[in-house]
Amino acid sequence: MKKIILIILIVVSLAGVVWANLSGSHNIDTNDDGYHWAWNDLIGWINFHDNETIEVRASELRGWADSQIGEIVLNCATTPIGDICDDSNGNFRVNNSLGELSGWAWNDTIGWISFDCNNIDACGSAPYKVSIKPAVDGENSFFEGWAWSEIIGWISFHCENDHDPDQAGIQGACNFSTYKIQTSAGSKSSSGSLISNVIDTGVDKPHYNYIIWQGEIKTGTLVSVQTATDVEGDGPWDFNLATQVIPGERASIPDGQQGKRYIKYQINLESDNWLEKTPIIRDIIINWSP
């Protein structure tokens, strides 16, 4: 039995869509739920919202939080007096890697604030880190964990934290005060689709064996394929349910689409939640028998 393979060379990614969404603005407590507070036992509440400067990006945090001891600056490029990044100021920032924060913030009264125990090689004695995790609503994310200051000690980012990481057991404070920090970043992906032109197999009643794609898929991203066939080539085109596949994996073509000369495909791509990674499609292969 003769088999015919059609290879369509394309390069498709979501890069243009994804990076366009990374240059946003203030994205803390965008639902105005009052979820924009961190806590420290010495200085009290730290407000991440009212000055509307803080932006959670895929690679870093920008802006500054307000407290009774003054601004807590998260990035030397975005301070109340502008960009102060240079060697003398340390080029500091709070880094973000898919929701795992690291690096340093600065306050003129207490100095450096560490967001990850690896910053000071302290993970063996007092492991701590600040993270951002997606909420179940698919629309928001929440900060959790602790930052550390040599002067004021622990800064808690969520009332469900074990209130003092130096003490055993859970000392969550939500029964006393439900504080947390909410962001719209890191909670949902970006998606896009490509629908092909009509493909003429040149065979009146072909048997479609499979469709596969070749390219790259990255952690947290998805690719799915759909097909539609027609006898005349002018539609209507009824695409089957999307099938999630990895590169080189064969997706079958339904029985109801067999024996029809013309075929179209739809490729659906979805980025990771941080809009940082996207699949790349390099070619599509459709295999059929006359």
Report the pLDDT value the prediction gives residue 126, as an integer from 0 to 100.
80
Residue carrying structure tokens 């301070």: 79
End-to-end CA distance of the chain: 8
Closest CA to 245 of 253, 255, 235: 253
Q: What is the mean pLDDT of the chain?
A: 88
Residue carrying structure tokens 């940082």: 276
**Percent of the chain at pLDDT exceeding 70:** 86
Say if CB 38 and CB 181 are below 8 A apart. yes
Per residue in 34-49, pLDDT (tens digit) is 999 999 999 999 999 9
Residues 6+ apart with CB under 8 A from 111: 149, 150, 151
Say if CB 98 and CB 131 are below 8 A apart. no
Report the pLDDT value the prediction gives residue 267, as an integer from 0 to 100.
94
Residues 6+ apart with CB under 8 A from 287: 3, 4, 5, 6, 208, 209, 210, 211, 212
Map out the domains of the chain with their CATH numbers: 4-18+190-289 (2.60.120), 25-183 (no CATH)
Say if CB 149 and CB 111 are below 8 A apart. yes
Per residue in 74-93, pLDDT (tens digit) is 999 999 999 999 988 779 99
Phi and psi of 284, rounded to 5°? Answer: -120, 135
Pairing of strands 207-216, 130-134: unpaired
pLDDT interval class at 17 (50, 70, 90): very low
Alpha-carbon distance 262 to 260, whole Å?
6
Report the pLDDT value the prediction gives residue 188, as an integer from 0 to 100.
85
- Both tokens of 110, joined, read 């207490």
